[in-house]
A and B are shown apart, each in its own frame.
Chain A
Amino acid sequence: MKTLHSFVLGLFAAGSLLSTPALAQQQLCPSLEALVDAALPAQVGDAAAMRMLLAPPATGRLSQVFQPDRAISAVRDSLKPEPSCPAYAPITATGQPFSCVYSNSTGSKLRVDLGRGRIAYRSKTRSEAADPNSLPPSYAMELATQVAASYGIPTAELSVTEAQVRGLRLSSLDGSSGERSSYRAEHHVRYPRRVGGTLVPDSGYHVAVDARGQVARLHVRWPDFQLAPGLSLSQMRSRSQVRDQLIADISAHNACGSVAAVKATVAYLPMRRLEQGGGRDEEALSTGQVSQETYAPGLLVGVVPAEPADPEEFQAAGEELWVPLLGNAAL
């Protein structure tokens, strides 16, 4: 097992090793270099910007505000904790973050896992009904905002201006008679998370609202925000180092000329997933904190493949890459 600190350093070392030998290779693809240069945000390699990223504002912790009774009441359901559930406390008597499934005889479930910052409410009955929904999208948005407060999502982190409502539609066709139907069954409201204005891409809040104006399903991914320990400005990678690694990473998976667009955004990336393979770092657990997730500033990169020359040929899947912004200077 490795400590979180050594894990961080190991990650940075990997980034360093990745970037260097690929330098020669990247020179062979000017079109990709141009895409990356255009996409790289101004904050990359900027000390003042990094200083701000390393001093995020305290915006509240869901685990300290969350109350199961309030959460159940907000979705207007009646649920009881399953027998294996401990008495509610953010950190339980066994020293573990609170985890419990609340359920009822109609198939509704509220799954709470504060260690991973995850809460999911699912009503089987409301979800199966899927009746025609004539409610306006604004109703769903208002309901979702109200419920968010009842789940303890910090208001300052809920990016209201980026909230989105989409209708979920059911269609059907009888291939013999041609008889058909199509109707909207649910409204889906989604909010991204920002801490100090910076995106936290593995987090989010989602609510599905049924025809009766009830919450059919709800998903909260909102681990308490905490930076990984040991991060400092002295570890900041230069703009050219980040650029080189990004070009190397894209080049490793995509032939020159096969990328149509690159979009890069500075974000707080979860350390758990920054490690190759996505495994959870064992030493990061049992720290006494409720949330087991930590974050580091990084670059969230969308890579859009070019369309094939023949439109009926294969389309490579899009790719999302994560590039750490801290690293080499610490080594």
Chain B
Amino acid sequence: MHSCFMNRRPSWALRTGGVLLLLSWSLGWAPAAEAASYEAKVFAITQWTSECSGGERPSWDDMATAWYDEVTRHGVFYKDGRFVNGRMSLRRFCDADGPGGSATCDDNAYVDDADAALLALHGGDKDNHWRGKLRVLDTLNECRLDAAEGIAVDDLFVGDQDLEFLHLSSCNSMNDNNINFTARSFWDATSATSGARLHQMNGFHGLMYIGKGYIDDYEDFAEEAHDVPLHLAWLDTMYRSNVGDGDEQCPVSFAIGATRADALNRLKTERYSKILSEPGGANAWAYSFFEGCDPTGLEAFNDPND
């Protein structure tokens, strides 16, 4: 067990971990992550395919892996899966229990099986939600991963199984016009009975950038989010000025709560080393951003709630 707050249901790994631990001791070897009980997973695409095309970004997995290596170095999270390219298709991210969900959807075994997950892939802004560009087709026959906003094509409903923190290294993953729809991805129909919901999501308003010079930022984020609130660690480390043609890279953090005060308190205090109990609802939300941050491809962040 670790010292951080445990007022939440244990992950599948923790529930079965006791047996594995006893077995490992009896066999005379120590588990790789002694104290860590939370699962970290990375899903990154650097090369797309003929069936789901996209511009190659060779440094993206290095950036994601820097987060993965660092976040699992502090005794809270352990490495539970690093998925790069390969069969990166919709089934890993869509929710069988979500509105219009298919039995093929298997997020419970992938993104929603983690406690903290980082997704690295191209992204777009569809209606009032982010959509990610997947790498290959599966039987769902779709290259797109649509975050939820309450429409029939929604895919991304997370937190109902396990996930607490979802970091989106993706363009348009937290655009200002989508802010008031973001909370819909934090739960599904089973959340009402299980009480399980996503705690916090982090993304970007407008374009974000890929390159060797960004690798350290992801390492720094993973480290800092153990020391101070996660939302600040994301903003501190992911903000960049003078990117591209002189624009800014604009990180945004978003948390939910049963009430507005609860959402704000969660945003202000939750970190990797202080994981709070499950949010009691998703009717209220709080978020942080840099005033006037002006990215490539969009106007400066215009807060819809100010």
Other-chain contact of A172, B62, B242, B284 (Cβ < 8 Å): B284
Complex-state Cα separation, A320 to B244, whole angstroms: 7
User: Are A319 and B210 in touch, CB under 8 angstroms?
Assistant: yes
Contact B245 A321, beta carbon cutoff 8 Å: no
Q: Is A273 an interface residue (CB 8 A)?
A: yes
Q: At the interface with chain B, which of A19-27, A66-74, A91-99, A201-209?
A: A201-209
Q: How far is the CB of A228 from chain B (nearest CB, A)?
A: 16
Query: Could you say which of B216, B259, B285 contacts A202, with CB atoms under 8 Å apart?
Result: B216
Q: Which residues of B contact A180 (CB under 8 A)?
A: 260, 305
B177-231, CB < 8 A from A:
180, 183, 207-216, 220, 223-224, 227-229
How far apart sit A313 and B171, CA to CA, in the bound complex (Å)?
12
A263 CB contact (under 8 Å) in B210, B228, B246: B246
- The A-contacting residues of B in range 5-63, CB under 8 angstroms, are 54-60, 62
Instruction: Using CB atoms, name the residue of chain A closest to B258.
Output: A174
Is B100 an interface position by the 8 A CB rule? Answer: no
List residues of chain B with CB within 8 A of the CB of A308.
124
Q: Would A304 and B296 count as touching, CB distance under 8 A?
A: yes
A315 touches B183 (CB 8 A): no
Q: Which residues of A contact B292 (CB under 8 A)?
A: 166-167
Asked if A247 CB lies within 8 Å of chain B CBs, one says no
Of all chain A residues, which has the CB nearest B249? A318
Q: How far is the CA of A95 from the CA of B124 in the complex (A)?
A: 50
- Shortest C-beta distance, B125 to chain A (Å), equals 6
How far apart sit A219 and B220, CA to CA, in the bound complex (Å)?
Answer: 10
Whether A278 touches B215, Cβ cut-off 8 Å, given contacts A166-B291, A172-B284, A219-B236, is yes
Query: Hey, which chain A residues are within 8 Å of B246, CB to CB?
Result: 263
Q: CB distance A315 to B172 under 8 Å?
A: yes
Contacts of A277 in B (CB 8 A): 62
Among B84-92, B104-112, B262-270, which stretch is in contact with chain A? Answer: B262-270
Contact of B290 among A168, A261, A322 (CB under 8 A): A168
Most buried by B among A123, A255, A274, A302: A302
Against B, the Cβ 8 Å flags (1 = close, 0 = not) of A286-316 are 0000000000000010111101100111111
Residues of A in contact (CB 8 Å), total: 70
In the complex, are the beta carbons of A278 and B211 less than 8 A apart?
A: no
Stretch at the interface among A57-65, A76-84, A124-132: A124-132
In the bound complex, do residue B124 and residue A313 qualify as a contact, i.e. CB atoms below 8 Å apart?
Answer: yes
User: How far is B246's CA from A176's CA once the two chains are assembled, in angstroms?
Assistant: 40
> Which of B75-83, B126-134, B157-165 is the interface stretch?
B126-134
Least distance between B263 CB and chain A CB atoms (Å): 6
B208 contacts A317, CB within 8 Å?
yes
Q: How far is the CB of A308 from chain B (nearest CB, A)?
A: 7
**With A175-B283, A219-B236 as given contacts, are A253 and B268 in contact (CB-CB < 8 Å)?**
no
B118 to A: closest C-beta gap in Å: 14
Task: Please report the C-alpha to C-alpha distance between residue A216 and residue B232 in the assembled complex, in whole angstroms.
Answer: 10
Q: Does residue A237 face the partner (Cβ distance < 8 Å to B)?
A: no
Which residues of A are found within 8 Å of B245, using beta-carbon distances?
261, 263, 302, 304
Provide the residues of chain A in CB contact with B297, threshold 8 Å. 307, 315
Chain A contacts for B286, CB-based, 8 A: 170-173
Q: Is the CB of B290 within 8 A of A320?
A: no
Is B284 in contact with A175, judged by CB distance below 8 angstroms?
A: yes
* Contact of B98 with A by CB under 8 A: no
Q: Does B67 sit within 8 A of A, measured CB to CB?
A: no
Contact in complex: B180, A173 (CB < 8 Å):
yes
Q: How near does chain A come to B306, taking the closest CB pair, in angstroms?
A: 4
Task: Give the Cβ gap from A321 to chain B, nearest Cβ, in Å.
Answer: 7
Given contacts A122-B224, A171-B289, 7 further A-B contacts (CB under 8 A): A122-B228, A127-B229, A314-B54, A314-B124, A317-B122, A320-B210, A320-B212
Measuring CB to CB, which residues of chain B are less than 8 angstroms from any residue of chain A?
54-60, 62, 66, 122-127, 131, 133, 170-172, 180, 183, 207-216, 220, 223-224, 227-229, 232, 235-236, 239, 241-247, 259-260, 263-264, 267-269, 283-293, 296-297, 303, 305-306
Q: Which 5 A-B pairs have the closest CB atoms?
A: A320-B211, A172-B286, A314-B124, A182-B306, A318-B209
Chain A contacts to B: CB under 8 angstroms: 107, 109, 111, 120, 122-124, 127-130, 164, 166-176, 179-182, 184-185, 188, 190, 192, 201-202, 206, 208, 216-217, 219, 221, 252-255, 258, 261, 263, 273-274, 277-278, 300, 302-305, 307-308, 311-322
